[in-house]
Structure 1
Amino acid sequence: MNAFLCYGNYPLLTKISYCNHTMITCATFSNASTTIKSMWFVYSGEVYENSLWNCRILKKIISYGLSVFGEEFATKTRRIRQKRRPEPHYMSKILSTLRQIVREWTVEGKAERDATYKPILDIVRERYSCISDRSTVKLMVPGSGLGRLAFELAKEGFTVEGNEYSMVMLMTSSFLLNACFEVIHCSFCWELRLAKVIIFEVEEHVIYPYALDKSNSWSYEDQTRPVRFPDLGKSRTEAPPNFSMIAGDFLEITQSRSSQFDCVVTAWFIDTAKNVIDYIETIYRILKPGGTWVNVGPLTYHYEDMIEEMSIELPYEEVMRIVRLTGFVVEKEERITSYYTINRLSMLQNQYTCAFFVANKSMHC
């Protein structure tokens, strides 16, 4: 939240930084420095304007978020703004969120989404092939991010409950779904339910997610190009009838929810655990007998480099051994190559080899 509120200072700070860097650097150049200086000043101006535009989008996200989460949340937000200044850590969250929008809700991100979402959707559709019965099938999607995968599953007719811990992700997904969440407060989380109808203006909004990418660029134009969202093909779409989002820690919000779900879908999620065994055991517990767990993603453990956090990092082979020891019967294992929030026009293209597996809880447990 601090990052959202303080990003407003970021464009000016960015412009000052670029201009100072330009003048200092060009002073050491040869006669070509005048031309280079001119180009850099033009570019820094574009970066400034792009960042201002990103600010406008972030302000809309904040506005929607405050209307969704209520006056108490708004009051806390104002206090945060008064007490803190933006830090690189917070700014990186915002830049990451902009890229996440590209991944989940744009045409540009479709190929990246499809690489890991399509295998999940195919498995779930096949497992529950009777469309008329799907409303009785309860799915949970922990770590649902900006909600696209959970939304797509709900559009298939399933009763879907997304879960997300990050308030940045929750506020942004609320904005992306047109601020049509109805919020139900409880002691440890917020439950967000979609309104009956979502109004989409196709590619209504613009962001500049790569304006600050100074390395591995082919051109200035690549860095400052706009990306439009959302990508949905209809200007008006019926909201899935049974789609909700639960805000909170996955382990906490499932403490009293044993044997409630027919299927748990985890995409790019299990490596967010401090102890992945806790996730495995919790997923097993919340599944109904005969329920299915579908997983895809790498093992880029999020707490690995945090000295102050207790964390265990297990290799895939050991993870799967524990999956089986917990009681799962592994039906399918594959490796899927995929990117994650890449800049498709960058010289740098990091690729993951993701683990994809389907595991079932015994009917007799």
Structure 2
Amino acid sequence: MTLSLSSFVLVLSVVLMLLKNNKTFKQFLANKLQKSFSKLNRHIPISTNFHLNQSKNFEKSVGLAEVYDALLQLQEYGVRGFRQNAVLFHRASSLNAIHLEQLRKLNYFEKLEESNEAVNANQKTINSIIEHTLTQLLDSNSLDNADGRELLSVCNGLGYDYQENGVLKRRISHTKTLSPKSNQSRVNEAISHMCRDWHPKYEQERRPLMDFITSRLRSNRFQGRTLVVVPGSGAGGIAHEVALAFPEFDVHSVELSTLMYLCNEFALGHGHSISIKPFAQHFSGQLDTQNQVRDYQIDLSKVKRPSNLQVHLGDFCEFRPYEEYDQIIVASAYFIDTAENLFSYFDAIENLKFFCSELQWINVGPLKYGTQPKVQLNDKELTKLRKERNWKDLYHKCDSKDLNGYLTNEKSLYQGFYGLVKFHSTYKERK
């Protein structure tokens, strides 16, 4: 009797799940984790284009340690996905013989195997993201100093060797240590955003946002130097399109999530087709297995980095341009409801007035608050707040019947759509 790879992984994952309750095994894992996370014990800042130096746009840059942590989480995707499916396998296996026989007739366990195969396919794309990131870091920095040695340590910790000929090579055998801080929901969100931001199928979700932003940008005849800032830009699709549509403007993309940032940089620099199965582990609401594990091919060879686009990793609330502009326009999409403190977003945007003669804000997105918000304003309150803070609306519309999808699976029984708050405002500095 032979086992398929997926069946073997399911069995192995069940064994690991049982082992995790063993005290000796848990102590062994703790020791491995301690060694893994002791590699980076000092802050090494990272700036635009993966340079290991302090960014001019942030008072404190995100560090190499955060990038390493994100890469570890990406590397864990497959193992954790198999483990999650093993839990489903284990639960079903506890049923009585009659029910198990009925599940076999439904090919239920084959469905779990197909999900595992889809997870494995996603891991191959994720490995490309990891290798692209490491290659960019190695190519952008000197390796003969302390920071360079830390970078080589990062590669080693992820199972890669940097050879004398400049080639990054993955070791055949590499023991993965699972981070206790790993957030796989964020990993899934990031790779799903690769589809939303770059796959033609999701053009129907992106187009209403882009049409509004570009129409408002074209409604003004800007003179002199113009900067468009795209906060919370995710995997970077909107910032990329704005940069292409307005080559005369500088466009700065700012993203706080290291996972999203790495996906953005990968999309701009990979140059080859990739495959993503975004619903591989979405078991609820499915019509059939084939829809659950279906593939999205994204041709990144068609994606080129515009010369007027800069991609930043950092907190938008701390972002500062290092140049003066005649006008700065903040273009936010699906952003303001992500704030823990909405007032900090207002403050950050208004502080950009110190770097320009004219400040404008174009927004399109829902008001679906998350991230433990201190305040949750409705559209009417948000409109009043803009007026209170000396913003003058040039355009405002909120239509609950004009709905926009967000990572929507149109071939499932559950689909998410949002009404959009659209406004375009200009700021008059408060006295």
Q: TM-score, normalised to structure 1's length?
A: 0.80
Higher relative CO (Cα under 8 Å, sequence separation at least 6) belongs to: 1
Q: 2:276 corresponds to which letter in structure 1? A: I
Find the counterpart in structure 2 of residue 210 from structure 1.
Answer: 279
1:152-171: CA deviation from partner (whole Å, max 9, x where unpaired): 11102121011011110111
The code of the aligned residue for 1:24 comes to S
Deviates more, 1:270-279 or 1:206-215: 270-279
Q: 2:74 corresponds to which letter in structure 1? A: F
CA positional deviation for 1:15: 4.5
Residue 188 of structure 1 is matched in structure 2 by none
Larger CA deviation: 258-267 vs 154-163: 258-267
Of 238, 243, 265, 1:174 maps to 265
Whether 1:362 aligns to 2:428 is yes
- The match for 1:27 among 97, 110, 113 is 97
Secondary structure at 2:200 match in 1? coil
Query: In 2, distance between residues paired with 1:35 and 1:73?
Result: 52
- 1:286-307 Cα offsets, whole Å, 9 max, x none, are 14333321001122223227xx
Aligned to 1:194: none
Alignment of 1:1-365 (within 5 A): 1=70, 2-25=72-95, 27=97, 29=99, 32-36=102-106, 39-70=107-138, 71=148, 72=150, 75=153, 85-86=178-179, 90-128=183-221, 136-156=225-245, 157=247, 158-179=249-270, 200-201=271-272, 204-230=273-299, 235=301, 239-254=305-320, 261-287=327-353, 288-304=356-372, 311-335=374-398, 336-362=402-428
CA contact (8 A) 1:217 1:223 kept: yes
1:31-84 Cα deviation digits (max 9, x unpaired): 634412xx1122122111111111111111111122334554564576699996
Q: Which runs of 5+ in 1 are unaligned?
A: 180-199, 306-310
CA contact (8 A) 2:268 2:305 kept: no
Q: 1:88–1:343: structure 2 CA closer, same or farther, 3 Å change rule?
A: farther
2:239 maps to amino acid:
A
Q: Following the alignment from structure 2 to structure 1, what is the Cα–Cα distance between the partners of residues 320 and 403? A: 31
For the residue of structure 2 that corresponds to 1:294, the secondary structure is strand
Name the structure 2 match of 1:182: none
Deviations 1:85-105 (A, max 9, x none): 256961111111122111111
Question: What letter corresponds to residue 102 of structure 1 in structure 2?
Answer: C
Name the stretch that deviates more: 241-250 or 2-11: 2-11
Give the structure with higher Rg (CA): 2
Tell me, yes or no, if the aligned pair for 1:101 and 1:146 is still in contact at 8 Å.
Answer: yes
Change (3 A) 1:31 1:62: closer
Kindly report the root-mean-square deviation, in angstroms, between the aligned alpha carbons of the 2 structures: 3.0
Distance 2:251 2:210 in 1: 15
Q: SS in structure 1 opposite 2:183?
A: helix
Q: Give the letter aligned to residue 226 of structure 1.
A: D
Residue 324 of structure 1: how far off its partner (Å): 1.5
Secondary structure at the residue paired with 1:13?
A: helix
Deviation at 1:26, TM superposition (A): 6.2
Per-residue deviation, 1:315:
2.6
Aligned length in residues: 329
Distance 1:364 1:252 in 2: 20
What's the offset of the Cα at 1:114? 1.1
2:192 maps to amino acid: R
Equivalent position amino acid for 2:291 in 1 = D
Cα separation, 2, equivalents of 1:352 and 1:161: 26
Work out the CA distance in 1 between the residues paired with 2:303 and 2:100: 59
1 CA distance for matches of 2:185 and 2:418?
21
Amino acid at match of 1:325: E
- Mapped to 2, the partners of 1:149 and 1:138 lie a distance apart of 15
Mark the CA change 1:177 to 1:28 in structure 2 (over 3 Å): closer, same or farther.
same
C-alpha separation between the residues in 2 aligned to 1:32 and 1:83? Answer: 37
Distance 1:51 1:12 in 2: 8
Distance in 2 of aligned mates of 1:177 and 1:320:
36
Give the letter for the 1:247 counterpart: L
Judge which range, 9-18 or 218-227, deviates more: 9-18
Structure 1 residues 6 and 239: CA distance shift in structure 2, 3 A: closer
Change beyond 3 A, Cα 1:274–1:18: closer
Gaps of 5+ in 2: 1-69, 139-147, 160-174
Question: Does the Cα contact within 8 Å between 2:327 and 2:357 map onto a contact in 1?
Answer: no
Shift of 1:351: 1.5
Which amino acid in the other structure matches residue 22 of structure 1? A
Q: Kindly state the Cα deviation for residue 23 of structure 1 after the two structures are TM-superposed.
A: 2.6
Contact 1:304-1:313 at 8 Å conserved across structures: no
